Structure 1
């Protein structure tokens, strides 16, 4: 009887095994269990910092640094002298200045760089504007080129009219000359 129950539950359970159905041999409600493992977050760190964070937690890297410094000082591998104090003080002053004066200085430098770039790119932008104007003029001239066929046809018609006019003028001269000779002969 129990073997049939195990086989039936085995067939009904999903094949992935992520969500299993557990039913005790009692009349209580069925409970669903979630067997999916939670992903380990390393906050996007890689390398030694990510390795330490995954093994020791968030404070592992700081603890390692303090421990290494304490070990180096206690074994006199690193000796604290006046240069060390100067480095710590200068480092603190630089850090404080960067924190307090960093944004205004950055803004001033960005504005100054923008002015310099505007001055340098002014000539370049002027050339770009000239080229764009030349392109617009060329497009207007392209409209004129579409009219050239009409202009050539007008010129052809004008030449034909001039030839016709010359022909008629000469024909008129011939007629007047012939009539004058005939009038001369008749008289």
Structure 2
């Protein structure tokens, strides 16, 4: 019970510490655990309830210390001998205060037996309420931090999506540039082809006109060089040739 009462100011002091200090302490403890032998030298833990006692107030560790040297009866023999020595030598005088102390001791034992469980239950309930209040704030802080971590993960996921979107946009821009480049190349090809076709058609027309003029000049020259007599003889010869062909057929 008294240890739980002593736990209250310790919990209050710990609750007043900022979160950053607690996290630093935890980080240092985690760092120290790699270097410290926690198996052979564990960390001390505050006990919630007192240890085992003998005769109502003597710690059990004292009896265990005597057991190694004197056995089971050693502590009792030592206590009886020490009390006998102090009383026989009048080092401890049994005056009226001694009997008053015995009365007060018996009253304290009765009060502890009678009212101790009720007081312990009440104080335990109060301490549990205070501890639950402190733990609720800690749990709320952990919940808020967990939600913040989840939100941060979502933001990181969104940031990764944005990077993928940027890559897709960059690829789309590249495709648009490639399409514009191909369109301009096709336009250049069309324009060059039209001009080349124009030159080819122009050369063909010039050649046909030259040929036509040349044929006209040759025909006119030939016609001018033929006399009427030659034309008549040529016509007669053609008629004879046609008759000969007709006879053969």
**Length-normalised TM-score, structure 1:** 0.50
> Could you report, residue by residue, the CA deviation over 1:55-108 in whole angstroms, capped at 9, with x for unpaired residues?
xx43x5334433443444344333211211111111112122223333332222
Aligned match for 2:64, one of 46, 50, 63: 46
> Is the partner of 1:78 in helix, strand or coil?
coil
Residue aligning to 2:143: 129
Change (3 A) 1:68 1:156: closer
Change (3 A) 1:107 1:50: farther
Q: CA deviation at 1:160?
A: 4.7
Question: Aligned pair 1:117/2:131, yes or no?
Answer: yes
Change (3 A) 1:116 1:94: same
Residue aligning to 1:101: 115
Change (3 A) 1:49 1:79: farther
Residue aligning to 1:145: 159
Rg larger in structure: 2
Structure 2: segments with no counterpart, 5+ residues: 1-60, 188-249
**Could you tell which deviates more after superposition, 43-52 or 80-89?**
43-52
Q: After the TM superposition, which parts of structure 1 deviate over 6 Å for at least 4 consecutive aligned residues? A: none
Q: How many residues are matched? A: 126
Q: CA deviation at 1:126?
A: 2.2
- Higher relative helix content: 2
Calculate the aligned-residue CA RMSD, in Å. Answer: 3.6
Residue aligning to 2:105: 91
